[in-house]
Each structure stands twice: as C-alpha cells, then as structure tokens.
Structure 1
Amino acid sequence: MHIILGGTGNIGSVLAARLLERGEKVTIVSHDEKKKKEWEDKGAQVAVVNVLEVDKLRKVFDTGERLFLLNPPADPSTDTVKEEEKTVTAILAALQGSKIQKVVAESTYGAQPGKGIGDLGVLYEMEQSLSRIGIPASVMHGAYYMSNWIFSTDQARETGKLYSFYPADFKLPMVSPADIGEFGAGLMLEPLEKTDSYYIEGPEAYSPGDVAEAFAEALRKPVEVAVVPEAEWVSYLQKGGFSLEAAESMATMTKLTLEQDYKMPVSPVKGKTTLKEFIKGVVNGS
C-alpha cells in the first residue's frame, strides 16, 4: 500500500493516478471530506485526517509500506513558516515508529538552513530530520513550479500585464508539477534499498518574459511584464492577502532565488512539459 500525502494537489494527484493505473493500492490522506468520493471512484482509499493529529496519522501510515511525503502549504494569510513547521513536525512524528518502510519526499531547489526564508528553510529541516529517522528515503527537489503563474492568469487576461518580482529576462529553472508527480510515481515503485537525491526541472530555463509570451499566445492578446520593485514586494504581497510574516519570508526567499544564492544541480532530471504547453493548459482550464 502506498500512502500519499498531498494526493489531491498538483503533484500528488498525478503521482497517485499513475500508481493506480499500474494496479497499485493507494491511500490518499486528505483533510477535505469533499475529495473522498472522487478518489474512491478512481480506485483509491481515502483517509480524512488532519496531519496535525499525530496518533491518527500514524494509524494511517501503519496500513502501508511506502509514503509520499509532501508538506502541505500553509494559507498565506497566516505565518506560513510557523504553520509549515508545525505540519512537517507532526508528519515526521507520526512517521517515527510507524510501519512505513520507504519514503519519497518532495523538497525544493535552494533548500538551505535559515530562518524566515519560507520553504527553503522548512524543507531543508525536513530533509535533515528525515535522514535522522533511519527509514530509507529518496528526496525530489523541484525547480520553480510553473503552477506559481496560475494566479497571474486573470491579471494577464484582464490587464495585459504579468506582474513579476524578477526582471523580464531573468532565466530560472521551472518545472510542471505533473512532471514531478510522474517521476515520483516511479520512485515509489523502486526497491526499498534504492534511494537518492534528485533535482527536477523542465526542458529548459524560462524567464518572466517567456511566461508573458506564453500567456500572450494562449490568450491571443499582447501581454507584457510589469516588474515590481524590491522595495514594494512586501506591500504587494500584503495587498494580495499575505500576512506580514508570510510576505516577508516570501520576499526573502525571492531575493535568494534572484541572487541564486545556492548551488545549482549538475545533472538534473528533465521533465517533458514546456512552459507554453503548461500555460495553454491553464488558460484552457485543463
């Protein structure tokens, strides 16, 4: 049995679907009762559990042998770092002493020690803690998610502008979450003793200018990049519903990415989905 955390999200849903297609038994962990019937109809079992409930979560883990670990993203209106630290701590506590024999975990490019740096710090600590538990684990590091641009769709459609914290020509590795899910499904089926650390990105690096071009092509209207000055990042995010703490950590994480203040992988796994294919799918609602 495969236990999937985040099984209804962009990555986990693809991973779970691929395992089901191969005849594997899958249990999806969700806090949303509304998702239960949809996935049961697809052949999965669904455990409706809040990941903060350690004892209940461990009981779910005890029904399987392999775990896909994706720490759920916190609501940006909260102190996201604190909330995500709570959830990953609870998940790891449930994992200790459970019957899980192998873990495949989702992390990120640039994961590093530090406070107030969003996912970069939270996921670094997750990796360190996971290594200490002693269960065989493979870790996937995803590049900048193409899905981060989904929230720009309405703006691009209505105003013809794509707001970006990065310069229009700043290239960075991006990846479709579906490509991560596809790769992760393969890792879930590998022998227990086979573990490694992987970096996953798309076919090539892309810039905000490339994103604007992809939206323009999909929307069939001009779209241009509007760069938000660094001094306005926090206030811009707050206007979008971020708490002050979440906005500050996002701004710090963005600056670290902009400065590329971390080592880039030498031989990353390359996904197949291009940026234009992804944005076209977003615009068409697929």
Structure 2
Amino acid sequence: MGCAVISELQAANIPFLALTHGEATAESLIASGVKAKAVDVMDTGTLRSIFREARRAFLLNPPADPKSDTDSVERATATSITEAVDGSGLEKVVVASTYGAQPGERIGDLSVLFGFERLIEQTGIPAAINRGAYYFTNLEPLLEAARKGTITTPFPEDLLMPMVSPIDLGKQVTLRLLSPTSDVGIRYVEGPDRYTFLDVVAAFSGALGHAVLLEKIPNGEIEASYKELGFSDAAAVAFARMTKASIEGMELPDDPVRGDVGLFEYLRELATPAEASGNSTTIY
C-alpha cells in the first residue's frame, strides 16, 4: 500500500517524505527520485522530530516478523508511532486499519489495529481511519501452488469476502491526506465486488490457463498450518484466532468506498510477468 500512496502523491505533484524500515529500501526510493529516509519505528524521538517538520502523515503500523510474538511487537510499534504523533503539531493523520477491527487480545491485526485507531484518536489530532478489506496481496504467496494445481485456505469456499487492491487503498489514502481536516472517522475501502475462494481459484485458473483446485484447511488445523509456514507459537495463535474471528463474523459494511481493480484483473496481472518470462520466481 505504501508504494501505491507514493505513486499517487507523485502523480498529484505533492511533496512528501517516505519513511522506510531499512536503508536499502530508502536508497532504492531515493534512486527513483523519491525523498526517503530509513527510520527505526521504535525511535519515538526521531519520529516525532520528523512529524514536526510535516503538516500531515499517513500512519501504517509495520507488520512484525512472523517468527516473533507479532501482537506484542505490533502493539509496541503502534504505541511508539502514537507517542511520536502526540505533540507533533500535525494538523491531520490518515491511519491504515482493517475490516473487522475490534477490541480484544491475541486476534492479530483485528485487535492490534483497533487499539491503534483508539490510541491515535486519543491524541486529539484529526484522524481519518481507512479500514481496508482483505488484501489481494495476501493471495500472492498462493501463486506457486496455483501453478501446481491446488491452493489451500482456511476460509470456507463459499464465504463472501470483501477484498481490495493496494492500488485502490493507495488512492483512498491520498484522497484523505489531501481532504479538509474535517474529513475524519472510519471509512471502509474495498474493491468493485466481493468474492469467495471459489472465485479465487476461478481467477487463478483463468490467469494460468489450467484448472486450479481448492483445498480447505480444517478449523482444528489452522494454527498448525501457520506454524508449518514458520510462524512462532505466539504468532500462530494470533493469526489462527484472527482467521477464525473473520470466518465467524466477516464484516460486510453497507456503504464502503469501492475501488476499480477487481480480483480477476489483479491475479491476471500477477501471473502474467512470470508467464511471459518463463521464470515463476520473478513474480516476487
């Protein structure tokens, strides 16, 4: 999503500073003509100093390494960002959050980002909160399995899910960064349609030119499936609980902002570069 916001701000000729985790990413952005700086998100003082030089900020709590205790790490980074915002003099912030954000413990992004929303609101700085649907980018790791003919998912095949492209998320972030300070509160952002995982396999099948099958991970094996992917015990618990909470109470708002990029288009474009090059690893 961050790259999409950068593209939108560039297109609008809006000056900005992109903050990144690592020096390599910052150097790559600088080489492409973007003003960027690598900052340790836990360095609250440096963050605050940077915010004091700006008028507005887009706040994206960085995902933690899945080998760590993700909930604890992400709550700590959310707190650091909030403390940097507090007293910064910013006139408005835009916060990236998620569908299904809710109070609780150990339910991954659902609880971490709900807490982040509340923390930022408590600073008193006008906050526009964009809750994004299930990211299409979550489907990218399934591409290689789809090439082999079968993808697995913990979600029921017929569960209707709001999904969204990072491009559409970036557009909505930019609109709210540039809108009046009175434009605050929660806004839901999703793609042009809602989809099931039957749609996902159909989209992969169309993009790859062969049938792709779907295999459901049993509810009792969801936590173990995350561990098999290399998640820590704590992260596997949080992600499994987040997945189950989403299955049991998928949030379907009546009035979301709808983007333009659909599932079939997204997966077709995802698959095409690798298909054209003949190298399935280049897609990443």
Q: Pick the TM interval, shorter chain.
A: over 0.9
1:92 aligns with 2:70: no
Partner of 1:280: 268
Q: How far apart are 1:207 and its partner, in Å?
A: 0.8
Partner of 1:103: 93
Q: How far apart are 1:41 and its partner, in Å?
A: 3.9
1:251 aligns with 2:221: no
Name the CA distance, whole Å, in 1 between partners of 2:16 and 2:212.
42
Alignment of 1:145-184 (within 5 A): 145-158=135-148, 160-184=149-173
Contact 2:162 2:252 in 1 (8 A): no
Partner of 1:51: 41
User: Alpha carbons of 1:276 and 1:182: their partners in 2 closer, same or farther (altered >3 Å)?
Assistant: same
Name the CA distance, whole Å, in 2 between partners of 1:42 and 1:22.
17
| Secondary structure, counterpart of 1:186 in structure 2 | helix
Partner of 1:265: 253
Name the CA distance, whole Å, in 2 between partners of 1:236 and 1:35.
31
Which residue identity does 1:33 align to in structure 2?
E
* Residue among 210, 222, 225 paired with 2:199: 210
Which residue identity does 1:194 align to in structure 2?
D
Paired positions, count: 274
Which residue identity does 1:266 align to in structure 2?
D
1:72 aligns with 2:57: no
Q: How far apart are 1:45 and its partner, in Å?
A: 1.5
1:122 aligns with 2:137: no
Which residue identity does 1:214 align to in structure 2?
A
Name the CA distance, whole Å, in 2 between partners of 1:277 and 1:47.
33
Query: Sequence identity, in percent?
Result: 36
* Residue among 240, 257, 266 paired with 2:229: 240
Partner of 1:200: 189
Q: TM-score, normalised by structure 1?
A: 0.92
Name the CA distance, whole Å, in 1 between partners of 2:176 and 2:33.
21
* Residue ranges of structure 1 left out of the alignment (5+ in a row): 1-10
Name the CA distance, whole Å, in 2 between partners of 1:109 and 1:255.
14
Q: How far apart are 1:40 and its partner, in Å?
A: 2.2
After the TM superposition, which segments of 4 or more aligned residues of structure 1 sit over 4 Å from their partners? none
* Residue ranges of structure 2 left out of the alignment (5+ in a row): 274-282
Q: TM-score, normalised by structure 2?
A: 0.93
Q: How far apart are 1:193 and its partner, in Å?
A: 2.9
Which residue identity does 1:220 align to in structure 2?
G
Name the CA distance, whole Å, in 2 between partners of 1:193 and 1:45.
28
Partner of 2:210: 221
Which residue identity does 2:107 align to in structure 1?
I
Partner of 2:126: 136
| Secondary structure, counterpart of 2:17 in structure 1 | strand
**Alignment RMSD, CA only?**
1.3
| Secondary structure, counterpart of 1:180 in structure 2 | helix
Contact 1:47 1:60 in 2 (8 A): no
